[in-house]
Amino acid sequence: MSARRIRLLIWKEFTQLRRDPLLIRLLLVMPVLQLILFGYVVAVDIRNLATAVVDLDQTSTSRKLEAAFSGSGYFTITQTPATEDDLRPLLDRGTVKVALVIPEGTQDRLDRGETAPIGIIVDGSDSQISAVGSGYASQIIAQFNADRMTEQGVSVTAPGIDAQVRVMFNPTLDPVNTMIPGLIAAIMMISLMAIMSQAVVKERESGTLEQMFVTPIHATEYLIGKLTPYAALATAQMLLVAAGGLFWFRVPFNGNFWVVLVGLALFMLTCIGLGLLVSLVSRTRHQAQQAVMFIMIPTMVLSGFIFPIQSMPAIIQPLTNLIPLTWALEVLRGAFVKGSGFEALAVPMIVLAGFAVVIFGASIVATRRRIAE
């Protein structure tokens, strides 16, 4: 092993990268584009839900409740039909996604100390909106009750409007808060797997790999020289996403920096291993691209990055455990959103370590053997 030769190989790799301006632009644009896609496009729908209010009570309480909804930022009251019958067409046409019905006598009931039922109707045709919308609504009502009670000096056990749902950890239910930690891991996986495997296969295609192994360069030196630049690039991309998330989207970070670092390091080894395995089975860059797609599509669909695992069919759910990204997401989201430490994340950490040992280890052994062939 010669540190000088490793430095030379790293210099060579960066020189070659510099000559590919399209790739460099892609490497920078991709994280920014994904930040925008996952940060804004996914987030916008859930805010400012078009809401109809049917206020049959017309009291100060009902108006206060309306104000609580419109003031929350999640609901924008766009329609105020006079009767419940007028609601149906609005929901059918999709003019509103949520409707709030305050029956006549709500204030009277509350004043009498009774439970006052109100109606919240959510358009269930979009499962995400319905889940999130009803969640927000329940929260607003809970808050409303609490405020009312403190105002009146009533004990908490006194009846009020019935609300049972609590959303923990991510009180605003802002999807950006779970999306961005996930994006950090996903970006790393794409970068290391797709771009590094291309670089290795290109070297084999052009014959420079063969040439280098006639020289005193050792397989280990070659591997370190190859992996370091791409690991550095992936790290830069992750920092870009993390900075965008923390400072632009104001994703709260409640966790332990070391948890994130260890989790990402373990996942990085897995990604490097997958990239090397892809380059081992591919003779051409085109094949490598196909192989990366073959891994990326199930990863994106099954890891819970976009679709929640809980909403998948029961038969599919165990499969998600085989996807390394699933566990990386658990660590990152746990650390970002819940502030979980090593103890709470022991299981995903151990699984990630297992993947790292098996996939990275196998790829290094196989690559060395292949090179020696």
Partner 1 sequence: MSETPDRVPEEPRGTSGATSGPAPDTEPAISLRGLTKTFGDFTAVDGIDLDVPRGQIFGFLGPNGSGKTTTIRMLTGTLRPKAGQARVLGVDVVRHPDRVKRRIGYMSQKFALFEDMTVEENLRFYAGVYDLDPQVFAAQREYVLRMADLVGREDELTRNLSVGWRQRLALGAATIHEPELLFLDEPTSGVDPVARRQFWDLLYDLASRGVTLFVTTHYMDEAAHCNRLAFIYRGRIIADGSPAEIRADHMEQRIFDITTRYADAVLPQLENDPEIEEAYLSGASLHAVVSASSTLTDASLRQRLVAAGCPDTVVAEVDPSIEDVFVNLVARQR
The contact set with partner 1 (CB under 8 A) reads: 4-5, 8, 12, 15-16, 19-20, 206-208, 210-217, 372-373
The three-state secondary structure class of 62 is helix
For the CB of residue 193, give the shortest distance to partner 1 in the complex, in Å: 21
CA–CA distance, 273 with 248 (Å, rounded to integer): 33
Comparison of 19 and 93: residue with beta carbon closer to partner 1:
19
Q: How many CB atoms lie within 10 A of CB 41?
A: 9
Comparison of 153 and 216: residue with beta carbon closer to partner 1:
216
Comparison of 76 and 228: residue with beta carbon closer to partner 1:
228
Comparison of 207 and 318: residue with beta carbon closer to partner 1:
207
For the CB of residue 43, give the shortest distance to partner 1 in the complex, in Å: 40
CA–CA distance, 347 with 356 (Å, rounded to integer): 14
Phi, psi of 120 (to 5 degrees): -120, 120
For the CB of residue 210, give the shortest distance to partner 1 in the complex, in Å: 6
For the CB of residue 372, give the shortest distance to partner 1 in the complex, in Å: 7
CA–CA distance, 24 with 3 (Å, rounded to integer): 27
Comparison of 127 and 206: residue with beta carbon closer to partner 1:
206
Residue bearing tokens 């966790």: 255
Comparison of 12 and 285: residue with beta carbon closer to partner 1:
12
CA–CA distance, 75 with 225 (Å, rounded to integer): 54
For the CB of residue 276, give the shortest distance to partner 1 in the complex, in Å: 19
For the CB of residue 6, give the shortest distance to partner 1 in the complex, in Å: 11
User: Closest Cα to residue 72, out of 164, 4, 167, 151?
Assistant: 167
For the CB of residue 35, give the shortest distance to partner 1 in the complex, in Å: 29
On whether the CB atoms of residues 145 and 162 are closer than 8 A, the answer is no
C-alpha distances out from residue 259 to 57, 256, 265, Å? 52, 5, 10
Comparison of 112 and 283: residue with beta carbon closer to partner 1:
283
List the 98-102 sheet strands across, edge first: 75-79, 49-55, 98-102, 119-122
**342 burial level (CB within 10 Å; 0-12, 13-18, 19+):** middle
CA–CA distance, 263 with 345 (Å, rounded to integer): 10
For the CB of residue 139, give the shortest distance to partner 1 in the complex, in Å: 56
Comparison of 13 and 55: residue with beta carbon closer to partner 1:
13
